Structure 1
């Protein structure tokens, strides 16, 4: 959307002031409004003019900001919140990831039998990931006392992330360290589907603007907009696709939901179903479901001219993982139905200092994703080799 330019630069304001004063000095002196012609190059007159020009420039800056924030499509931050409040919307706040972490019996007593007694796991035990590509460690705290029964090799314990946000939605196998030792416990892990509740970032301006527009469209009677607005109102939902072209026969509608961790948890789907229930039109058979996962293997070799090879490989991995995981607000992640375009992956890698070219082993080309699908990173291999300019 184009925005009118209302402000002026300080140089433009200064030039206009001096031009005006030169044009009227003689007239003002003749009228007795000035004792004599002013020296506009120095002295107290010059200082006062400069101060006035700066103050006028500040007013122009404020005018442009107010004009921009008055339009919901351009508004940001608190101003956007004010627009949203007018139609009973509120920015979704960040939440903590929550799920089951598996505590494994120590190897010395893992064979079972009478030498494997009950092991008490007190609430407040801390488990954590290894440092990720950015050097960040995520920690999780057990919520309640648990017991590893005699003879059992492992027990699942509910834990909550210490930090708020989507970054704490650890991938399977990432939680591997027990920060606070528990006698009799030798290891911890998180299996596939360990999340019960996704951690979500505070709603971004772009997502809130989308909900603002959908709210008005829903009020205008657009059914698909009403379903999208209801789904996106649920904390943890970051994208939604509505197939209202009778996907399962006449009168059927599919609502496909992406969570903050990618594939939504069952709890998140249930929350969306509850939100949409009040919006269902007569004779609509609505199904809320997760997107169809489309696995993508990524393997590349970076040709480097300079820099630190390990750091460059790590930066490339972080970029690709963020595209699929969507846990970094500054990285535009793949959404529902978004094709995996190699150039899009390459864009954040070739801009890394020292990278000359990317050699792709996989995928061999762009990966088409169906309208109700979601690209899922199944494997990632990044290597590097040194080259010279030809």
Structure 2
């Protein structure tokens, strides 16, 4: 009987071919005389290739039965059938854009889906319409063309109207729903693990966390204050989502939690308080790699911010490590001047102010 470790180690085509040749030799054949390209050897090689594909499939199916080993579609199937959970899919960024019309132009009767606006190659389409009067403004909801956090653009940066109107300018000024990326395997596994805590009595902290994460795709961080924060019998559930968290997500989590909490518990559900953390640094990079280093630094800082929990301690060393990309020569971090400790209901938002030098 093979062990699990042996089952999880697929044999390669050369290994299977060698085993087949050994079997043939034991039966009195002389496969070592078959030259490459001969009919006999080619048939054995094709058979070994097919068995190698079956080996890989066997391993994938085996791994798919274990939460810690399953990946991709196999993990989706395990999550649904065993834990009754679906993976969170990527969502669309929705922001408010404000159109401003100069005096002497307009009025314009804007129809839904008529306008495209954004920055660079990131485009947003208006979801509603209205009348833009001469010398006036009109605020509309715009939805990103694609899904994911790539469309999570900063306020005031979307100033290009790709379907121009004479005398009209545009800018984005409010996040209505922050986009999220498709839930990773690691994130999905964690939600599956948390499901077990829901089976207990008394609603453990993990149960509150599981209910909140399942309530809305935008909720990615949960902190449960279960040490009677407002007096005996009180529990606070603090929520957050990268890019901000709308009232609808908080309301959805609150509804589920209030339905399932113990009758004697006083539970409050609310969004975390976002705290700006200025990051100032002089970053020296190799000559000719400035643009690459800038993109890399922003991406690595975004990943660090996303990984920070509510009430995190932000270490200077972690910031320097994030800024030290493959083409970086040196990082002199001036702010923050010390490690930053957030309170129990705060979440970090990095404000990046770099000075770039090519050397």
Aligned to 1:124: 113
Structure 2 Cα separation of the partners of residues 143 and 56 of structure 1: 53
Aligned to 1:338: 312
- Which range moved further: 63-72 or 119-128? 119-128
Question: Offset at 1:359?
Answer: 1.4
State the secondary structure of the residue aligned to 1:235.
coil
- Is 2:173 aligned against 1:215? no
Aligned to 1:8: 11
- Is 2:199 aligned against 1:199? no
- Is 2:78 aligned against 1:83? yes
- Which range moved further: 3-12 or 248-257? 3-12
Q: TM-score, normalised by structure 2?
A: 0.84
State the secondary structure of the residue aligned to 2:238.
strand
Aligned to 2:220: 238
State the secondary structure of the residue aligned to 1:40.
helix
Change (3 A) 1:252 1:60: same
From 346, 354, 358, the equivalent of 1:381 is 354
What are the superposed Cα offsets for residues 104-128 of structure 1, whole Å, 9 maximum, x if unpaired? 231xx2xxxxx79865333324243
Q: Do the aligned residues in 1 keep the contact of 2:128 with 2:141 (CA within 8 Å)?
A: yes
Q: Do the aligned residues in 1 keep the contact of 2:61 with 2:74 (CA within 8 Å)?
A: no
- Is 2:241 aligned against 1:259? yes
Aligned to 2:30: 38
Structure 2 Cα separation of the partners of residues 184 and 304 of structure 1: 42
Change (3 A) 1:51 1:244: same
State the secondary structure of the residue aligned to 1:237.
coil
State the secondary structure of the residue aligned to 1:190.
strand
Question: Offset at 1:259?
Answer: 1.6
Change (3 A) 1:267 1:171: farther
What is the root-mean-square deviation in Å for CA atoms of aligned residues? Answer: 2.9
Aligned to 1:301: 282
What are the superposed Cα offsets for residues 133-173 of structure 1, whole Å, 9 maximum, x if unpaired? xxxx32222222213467x7433222222222233233221
Aligned length: 348
Structure 2 Cα separation of the partners of residues 16 and 306 of structure 1: 54
Aligned to 2:210: 229
Aligned to 2:94: 98
What are the superposed Cα offsets for residues 286-335 of structure 1, whole Å, 9 maximum, x if unpaired? 111122323211112222344333442343234324543x4xxxxxx333
- Is 2:161 aligned against 1:158? no
Change (3 A) 1:309 1:105: same
Q: TM-score, normalised by structure 1?
A: 0.78
What are the superposed Cα offsets for residues 328-359 of structure 1, whole Å, 9 maximum, x if unpaired? xxxxx33323332333333344332x322211
Task: Choose 1 or 2 for highest CA Rg.
Answer: 1
Aligned to 2:63: 68
Alignment of 1:330-369 (within 5 A): 333-352=307-326, 354-369=327-342
- Is 2:272 aligned against 1:291? yes
Change (3 A) 1:190 1:45: closer
Structure 1 Cα separation of the partners of residues 69 and 31 of structure 2: 44
Change (3 A) 1:289 1:17: same
Structure 1 Cα separation of the partners of residues 154 and 267 of structure 2: 30
Change (3 A) 1:313 1:200: closer
- Which range moved further: 73-82 or 45-54? 45-54
Question: Runs of 5+ in structure 1 lacking a partner?
Answer: 29-33, 110-114, 132-136, 327-332
Question: Offset at 1:376?
Answer: 0.9
